[in-house]
Structures are given as C-alpha cells and as structure tokens.
Amino acid sequence: MDDLRHCFQQMCRAMPGGWAAMAAAMGLSKDGLENRVYERKGQRVDVHEALQMQAFSSTTLFAEAVAAESGGVFIPLPAVDGVDVEEIHTVYMELVDQVGKLAREWREATRDGEVDPKERQRLEAVRHGICTKVTQMNHLTFQVFCKEAVQ
C-alpha cells in the first residue's frame, strides 16, 4: 500500500500547481487531500478519486501502481491514427531487438550463478520492454487487419 500512497504523492507533485491545485481540482481543502493520501482520521483515497487524480495529473501513475500491486505491469496502448503495415513492422523489429537484448542480459546475469540487484533490475526492464512491444504490436495489428474495430 505504500506504493499507492507514493503514487498519490507523485500525482499531486505532477499536477501543475502541486498539492494545492490537486486539492482544488478535486473540490477538497489541501488538508482534506492530505488526510486522504496519508489515511488520517479514517479517510483514504477511493478508486474514483484516484482516477480523478490520475486524469488531473496527466499521468498513468495510479494504473501503474495498481498493476504493480497486483504483480503485473501497466502497458498503455498506442495511438492508432493513421497506422499502416510499415509501422507494425517497425514495432515487430523493435520486439525482436528486445528479445535479443534479453538473451544477452540473461546470459550475462546468470554467468556467475547469481543474479544481483542491478542485474535483476536490467532483466526486469527488458521484460517490461518486451511486454510493451508485444502489446503494441498486437493492438496495431488488430487495428489494421481486423474487420471489426478493436477498442
């Protein structure tokens, strides 16, 4: 839950005007917002408020925190205006590059029989990149090649 609190703090900082502007946008006093974020006086940020904070801060921090808390990752879908086959090929080649990078990073990280924290961080970053590229490639493919519009 500390990750969620941290994301609420980050969204407040990301909002132009900071905490005061976020509180005003949500129709709260700054103290009222802080009470919710820090769970004081029996208050907490509910899902609806968290989604509002995310929209006001123009971030995906809440979605990312919920995904991480659930053992996953948040992957935003790409914009699909004017997508063509060439763009899909580009994303596909980026995916192939990421898989090659995973092979190199994995080989290096496991060479000594132990994965240290820095090696783990690099492997996790590559995993996230691969997940992102697969999701993007499928989304773009469906937009171009499926007869029915994909939402």
pLDDT band at 80 (very low <50, low <70, confident <90, very high): low
Helix 61-69 vs helix 2-14: crossing angle, to nearest 10: 170
Residue 40: per-residue pLDDT: 94
pTM over 0.75: no
Residue 52: per-residue pLDDT: 96
pLDDT digits (tens, 9 = 90+) for 35-64: 999 999 999 999 999 999 999 999 999 999
Residue 144: per-residue pLDDT: 84
pLDDT digits (tens, 9 = 90+) for 110-146: 999 999 999 999 999 999 899 989 988 998 888 888 8
Where are the domains positioned within the chain? 2-69, 85-145
144-148 long-range Cβ contacts below 8 angstroms, 24+ apart: 144/83, 144/84, 144/85, 144/88
Report the chain's mean pLDDT, rounded to a whole number: 91
The mean pLDDT value for 65-94 works out to 84
